[in-house]
């Protein structure tokens, strides 16, 4: 799979403003599908967000899928790589370490409110170095306020270190709707069923079926965000019925799948962002 990717180095421009006194710095970048931002880390914490497109973010600890209505908080110095699953219009924030502590020391998937989205776009129009009481300073303060109350979405795909489990996990990520038995998946990794059952909790903190559920939830968020019908998502992920999928979704996220579909006001903002 990696042979078909285009490796892209992190922007040197980003390194240049890691030491600015500004509490929050915004950065825009356009990337193509299958571009891979190779493994790197930042002195500042990063809010990975795109107004358009889907990103797959990997750290040594896990994998996250990030659709346009969500953002991923990546703490300072956490090594990560970013694969563009589609064309991506990245609008990311770099937050200084003091302000970023409030967002925690672990990667977290966050909901992006309509207000937060607009504030990110507004900060992009301002100079990167600004006084605290300038317009940019006020926008940055509002961004931090919105981030402090942004709901976290408890979806993450913890990643194992064992190569046999990694092979199984890669296969499931590549085809999450495939209806294989545990024995079939184990065979793809060259492991026994007993080994998979024993190692998955040890390596990922989750039973195998719960790990697969996290993959399904991650994929569902992406598909719902692009406007797919709930029944279509359920079928694509291999569920016998829409109700079975919806029940799983509600139990895991305490919300219905339709809550994660794009609202009309979000669509209007996306169109406006494209025209800038």
Name the 3-class secondary structure at 130: coil
Q: Are 219 and 173 in contact (CB under 8 A)?
A: no
Average of per-residue pLDDT across 118-141: 97
Q: How many CB atoms lie within 10 A of CB 73?
A: 25
> For tokens 């042979």, what's the residue?
3
Q: What is the pLDDT of residues 32-66, one digit of tens each?
A: 999 999 999 999 999 999 999 999 999 999 999 99
> For tokens 């502590």, what's the residue?
101
Q: What is the pLDDT of residues 208-235, one digit of tens each?
A: 999 999 999 999 999 999 999 999 999 9
Average of per-residue pLDDT across 86-100: 97
Tokens of 6: 């285009």
Query: For the ranges 17-31, 74-88, 110-124, 255-269, which has the lowest average pLDDT?
Result: 255-269
- Residue 3: which pLDDT band, with cuts at 50, 70 and 90? low
* Among candidate residues 105, 70, 63, 74, the one with its CA nearest the CA of residue 206: 63
pTM for the full predicted model: 0.91
Q: Which domains does the chain have, with CATH numbers?
A: 2-153 (2.60.120.280), 161-260 (1.10.10.60)
Q: Report pLDDT for 262.
A: 84
Q: Report pLDDT for 9.
A: 86
* Among candidate residues 44, 113, 31, the one with its CA nearest the CA of residue 78: 44
Q: Report pLDDT for 16.
A: 87
Q: Where are the beta strands (DSSP E) in the chain?
A: 6-8, 24-31, 35-40, 45-52, 55-58, 62-66, 70-74, 80-84, 88-95, 108-111, 152-153, 157-158
Q: Report pLDDT for 4.
A: 84
- Angstrom CA distances, 64 to 11, 17, 48, 51, stand at 22, 26, 11, 17
Please give the helix or strand (H or E) that residue 131 lies within, else none. none
Q: What is the pLDDT of residues 197-213, one digit of tens each?
A: 999 999 999 999 999 99
- Residue 264: which pLDDT band, with cuts at 50, 70 and 90? low
């Amino acid at each position: 799979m990696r042979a078909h990717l285009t490796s892209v180095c992190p922007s040197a421009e980003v390194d240049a403003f890691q030491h600015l006194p500004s509490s929050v710095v915004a950065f825009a970048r356009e990337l193509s599908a299958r571009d891979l931002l190779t493994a790197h880390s930042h002195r500042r914490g990063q809010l990975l967000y795109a107004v358009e497109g889907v990103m797959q973010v990997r750290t040594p600890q896990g994998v996250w899928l990030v659709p346009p209505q969500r953002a991923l908080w990546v703490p300072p110095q956490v090594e990560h790589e970013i694969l563009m699953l589609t064309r991506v219009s990245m609008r990311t924030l770099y937050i200084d370490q003091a302000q970023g502590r409030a967002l925690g020391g672990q990667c977290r998937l966050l909901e992006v409110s309509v207000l937060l989205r607009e504030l990110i776009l507004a900060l992009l129009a301002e100079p990167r170095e600004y006084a605290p009481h300038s317009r940019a300073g006020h926008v940055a303060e509002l961004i931090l306020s919105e981030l402090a109350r942004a709901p976290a979405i408890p979806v993450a795909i913890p990643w194992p270190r064992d190569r046999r489990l990694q092979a199984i996990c890669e296969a499931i990520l590549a085809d999450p709707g495939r209806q294989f038995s545990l024995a079939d998946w184990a065979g793809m990794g060259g492991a026994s069923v007993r080994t998979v059952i024993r190692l998955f909790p040890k390596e990922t903190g989750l039973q195998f079926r719960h790990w697969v559920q996290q993959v399904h939830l991650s994929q569902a968020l992406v598909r719902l965000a692009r406007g797919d019908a709930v029944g279509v998502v359920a079928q694509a992920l291999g569920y016998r019925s829409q109700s079975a999928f919806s029940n799983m979704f509600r139990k895991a996220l305490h919300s219905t799948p339709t809550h994660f579909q794009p609202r009309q006001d979000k669509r209007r903002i996306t169109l406006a962002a494209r025209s800038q």
